[in-house]
């Protein structure tokens, strides 16, 4: 991801050029999606929250401080919306939807087994790095830039996450 080019498009969007949004979305949506998915653990809700995140970000674009991590800013907005979503639905429903998914028509949106295992055994930062590197296809240096971490830390956390995931999958007979 070219940070300079992203900042240029952010400035264009701030000045009213709505066509700049396409580039911004293409460069940032995967990182935001996986940050939200880790919290809500449901693809359908994660997609809805992703859209809400971009709507909120556009309406508050003047609050973004140029030169800081735009992806980090977006992820913090997404996490906030996701946490609010979780709080809201915990109050409204006391039933476990995973056990009774067939009642609510949500059985078809189950995440693949590997993603479920990753969510259960990995810390949030490990999960996010693993998803960005292995699923979204970003390079470790791009992930380091997005998350404002040294590349060595990203590499180490990625390798540790892979080891943990492999161990869990071997123990459960998943591989």
Per CATH, the number for 111-175 is: 1.10.10.10
Q: What is the CA radius of gyration of the chain?
A: 17
Please state which CATH class domain 1-110 belongs to. Answer: mainly alpha
Where exactly are the structural domains of the chain?
1-110, 111-175
Four-CA torsion 89, 38, 98, 163, nearest 10 degrees: -160
**pLDDT tops 60 at residue 6:** yes
pLDDT band at residue 107 under the 50/70/90 scheme: very low
The pLDDT tens digits of the residues spanning 113-137 come to 777 788 888 888 898 898 888 877 7
**Whole-angstrom Cα distance, residue 75 to residue 29?**
9
CA–CA dist 18, 38 (Å, integer)? 30
Burial readout 49-73 (b: 16 or more C-beta within 10 A, e: otherwise):
bbebbbeebeeeeeebeeeebbbeb
Contact (Cβ atoms closer than 8 angstroms) between residue 14 and residue 61 = yes
pLDDT digits (tens, 9 = 90+) for 11-25: 999 999 999 999 999
Does residue 98 have a pLDDT over 80? no
């Amino acid at each position: 991801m070219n940070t300079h080019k992203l900042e240029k498009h952010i400035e264009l969007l701030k000045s009213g050029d709505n066509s700049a949004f396409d580039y911004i979305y293409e460069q940032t949506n995967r990182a935001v999606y996986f940050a939200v998915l880790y919290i809500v653990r449901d693809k359908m809700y994660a997609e809805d929250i992703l859209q809400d995140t971009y709507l909120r970000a556009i309406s508050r674009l003047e609050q973004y401080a140029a030169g800081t991590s735009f992806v980090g800013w977006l992820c913090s907005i997404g996490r906030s919306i996701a946490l609010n979503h979780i709080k809201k639905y915990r109050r409204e429903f006391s039933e476990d939807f995973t056990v009774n998914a067939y009642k609510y028509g949500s059985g078809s949106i189950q995440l693949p087994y590997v993603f479920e295992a990753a969510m259960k055994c990995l810390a949030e930062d490990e999960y996010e790095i693993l998803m960005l590197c292995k699923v979204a296809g970003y390079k470790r240096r791009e992930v380091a830039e997005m998350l404002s971490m040294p590349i060595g830390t990203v590499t180490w956390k990625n390798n540790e996450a892979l080891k943990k995931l492999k161990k869990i999958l071997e123990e459960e007979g998943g591989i």
